[in-house]
Structure 1
Amino acid sequence: MSTTYTSFAVFGGGRVGLPIVEEFARRQVSVVLFSRPGSATKKTVPAGVEIVELDFSDVNKISAALQQRGVQVVLSTIGVAAAVSQNKAIVDAAKLAGVKLFVPAEYGLTTEGQTEGPLGDKREVAGKCSIDYLKATGIPAVQFYNGLFIEFIPWLTGFPEDPKMRVIGKGETPISFTAIIDVAGFVAHVLTTLPSAELGNRIFRIEGERASLKELAKRFNATVEYVDRVQGEMGEVKTVIGVALDSGSGSTGWDVVNKREGTGVDAAGSANLLWPGHQWKTIKEVLNL
């Protein structure tokens, strides 16, 4: 008999992890936040949420902590490429602890089927410690694709701090934009309401709003500045993301292999139906435009 999950552990309490913890707590289910030593003092969590400080590379200690708390579902929100060994250790610990479901830290752009280009490199690096590695260990996994976080638009394009919107390519490719709070809410919603049998090895494609960067510039009266690459701090990372968005991978329904939009459950925003009645936040709301 399939039941719903009731016990969760979130690794990493950053910009994505902490909102997810808060959403679990709001739904009054058991959730524990695993944090690196020394970083927990900077976090404020809802009453009743336990914070456990652990070395994310210590498989045995992580496993023991998960078993002690009866954790059924582990969610990693620590950066994959920046912490490959730590994500791998968390997977190993989850396996030892008998965890039933694992959510890897691959929120954002679609990497399914990517073998070339910047996202192919990300998949190659991240996959060894997340999806592909999870498949090898036998732990069922669930992925969430949300496109570009709305909150990252200023960081990537410079707008609205700068009246010009920096765009790589033609800026005409449709992109899925989703607010972090909506991603966190959706994750907590489906993991606590869908039967466990419907969650294993599944991809959820959500979308708060859909538009191209050129459309956004027109909508908000911004001037478009077309560039080949982004200069300055983290310019290389921003360039990689900009190229990926221009290629189509910014859409949560993008089919990399066939280079077209997916249909049915593979369509952008198809999973939105699983959260009936929810009002998804718009770019205008989130950025106060």
Structure 2
Amino acid sequence: MSPYKSFAVVGAGQIGLPIVGALAALNVSVIVLSRPGSSAKPVPAGVEIIQVDYDDAAAVSAVFKRHRVDVVLSTVNSAGVGSQKSLADAGKRAGAQLFVPSEYAAPTDGQPEGSDNPVGGTGAKNKIAKYLRTVNLPSVRIFTGPFIESIPWLVGYLDHGKVRIVGKGEVPVSFTSIADIAGFVAYVLTNLPPSKLENRILRLEGERIRMNDLGVLFKTSVEHVDRIPGEAGEAKTGLLKLLDSGAGSTGWDEAHKRERSGGEAAGSANSLWPGHRWKGIKEVLDL
């Protein structure tokens, strides 16, 4: 059994709340940190929401100490990735044993600073991983690929009933459901020993598919375009280009532009949750 008994989830958004729910269902101690002024979020009974400035390491550390936090899980969005340095400092001061940085997307290990990655920013996520090593705070990075639930939004299916993509759409992409991600995180943190988690990268994969093959699942046509117009069009275009480069696979090796193999292959960490049946696109989206 894992020695971790108390958890702090920073952020209560699309992936944060499901992780809180999955942990709370295991009857472990869970608190949620949110920024001052944030709107109230529904959390399970017994879970306390504490509003605190993430950039105030002393204040955050005091919260961690008061609740004897063993594991800090950051689920901040891309705009808040930089604040994780203060969160790491707070965790270190408070004696946290493990830090789980906000990844939950395409792999960002090996991403050079200044590179263009709409998931990892300009190397920001990799900078945090390096910083955690410099302060000697063990961490575990979890790469999931895009959320299955995001596919209709990403390809514009809800807008025009088609699958619209940028690029050739021939390389495989790792998609994973939010429920599976949350359940996996809760399971490994409460069942695996530190030796299986500390300073590791865990690569998940719910379903591996080419973007061109989404048309068959959605029973519609696939259109190839140069860019996605409209609201969030720039973000969608950037993400679709990233997926088309091969980096949508959780086993992608950015430095060598190729797929990893063996214990670093896409989905290689799925086996850490024995007996679990990973959900596919058709099941999650009820296609």
Normalised-by-shorter TM-score class: over 0.9
1:1-289 correspondence to structure 2 within 5 Å? 3-39=2-38, 41=40, 43-80=41-78, 82-115=79-112, 117-119=115-117, 122-128=121-127, 130-289=128-287
Superposed displacement of residue 85, structure 1: 4.2
* Alignment partners' CA distance in 1, 2:176 and 2:2: 29
* Alignment partners' CA distance in 1, 2:54 and 2:279: 33
After superposition, the C-alpha distances for 1:238-286 in whole angstroms (9 at most, x for unaligned) are: 1111111001111111122222221111011111111111121221122
Gaps of 5+ in 1: none
Deviates more, 1:198-207 or 1:230-239: 230-239
SS of 1:122's partner is coil
Verify the 8 A CA contact 1:62 1:93 in the aligned structure 2: yes
* Alignment partners' CA distance in 2, 1:84 and 1:175: 24
* Alignment partners' CA distance in 1, 2:104 and 2:203: 10
Superposed displacement of residue 191, structure 1: 0.9
* Alignment partners' CA distance in 2, 1:111 and 1:3: 27
Superposed displacement of residue 160, structure 1: 5.0
Deviates more, 1:155-164 or 1:239-248: 155-164
* Alignment partners' CA distance in 2, 1:216 and 1:145: 22
Verify the 8 A CA contact 1:77 1:105 in the aligned structure 2: yes
Q: TM-score, normalised by structure 1?
A: 0.93
Question: How many matched pairs?
Answer: 285
Superposed displacement of residue 126, structure 1: 3.2
CA, structure 1 residues 176+84, in 2 after alignment: closer, same or farther (shift >3 Å)?
closer
Verify the 8 A CA contact 2:2 2:189 in the aligned structure 1: no
* Alignment partners' CA distance in 1, 2:278 and 2:190: 19
CA, structure 1 residues 192+131, in 2 after alignment: closer, same or farther (shift >3 Å)?
same
SS of 1:34's partner is strand
Q: TM-score, normalised by structure 2?
A: 0.94
After superposition, the C-alpha distances for 1:61-105 in whole angstroms (9 at most, x for unaligned) are: 10011011110110110114x124422211111111111110111
Superposed displacement of residue 163, structure 1: 2.2
* Alignment partners' CA distance in 1, 2:2 and 2:22: 20
Deviates more, 1:218-227 or 1:25-34: 218-227
Percent of aligned positions that are identical: 52
SS of 1:118's partner is coil
Gaps of 5+ in 2: none
* Alignment partners' CA distance in 2, 1:51 and 1:194: 27
Deviates more, 1:231-240 or 1:141-150: 231-240
The residue type paired with residue 67 of structure 1 is K
RMSD of the alignment, in Å? 1.7
Verify the 8 A CA contact 2:2 2:190 in the aligned structure 1: no
After superposition, the C-alpha distances for 1:185-208 in whole angstroms (9 at most, x for unaligned) are: 101111110002221110111111
SS of 1:204's partner is strand
* Alignment partners' CA distance in 2, 1:78 and 1:170: 31
Superposed displacement of residue 18, structure 1: 0.5
* Alignment partners' CA distance in 1, 2:24 and 2:229: 41
